[in-house]
Amino acid sequence: MRHQSPVYLAVAALATALVIAGIYVTFWGESNVEGGNSAESLNGGLEAFAVGEMVNFAVFGSPEHPDPVQFVDGEGQSRSFDDWKGKVVLVNLWATWCGPCRHEMPALDRLQAELGGEEFEVLAVSLDRSGLDLPREFYAENNIEHLGLYNDASARTGVALGVFGMPTTVLLDREGRLLGRLVGPAEWDAPDAVALMRAAIDQPD
How far is CA 146 from each of CA 94, 136, 193, rounded to the nearest angstrom?
16, 13, 17
Q: What is the pTM of this model?
A: 0.78
Local confidence band at 97 (pLDDT 50, 70, 90 cut-offs): very high
Report the percent of the chain where pLDDT is more than 90: 72
Segment 156-168 shows an average pLDDT of 92
Local confidence band at 29 (pLDDT 50, 70, 90 cut-offs): very low
d(CA 142, CA 133): 14
pLDDT of residue 43: 56
pLDDT of residue 63: 85
How many Cα atoms occupy the beta-carbon half-sphere of 134 within 13 Å?
A: 16
Local confidence band at 33 (pLDDT 50, 70, 90 cut-offs): very low
pLDDT of residue 59: 94
Residue 185: pLDDT over 90 = yes
d(CA 95, CA 102): 8
Q: How far apart are the first and last CA of the chain?
A: 67
Average pLDDT, the chain: 83
Question: If we measure between CA atoms, which residue out of 200, 196, 197, 186 comes closest to residue 53?
Answer: 186
Residue 16: pLDDT over 50 = no
Segment 37-55 shows an average pLDDT of 73
Q: What is the pLDDT of residues 103-151, one digit of tens each?
A: 999 999 999 999 999 999 999 999 999 999 999 999 999 999 999 999 9
Residue 8: pLDDT over 80 = no
Instruction: Give yes or no for a cis peptide into 106 (omega within 30° of 0).
Output: no
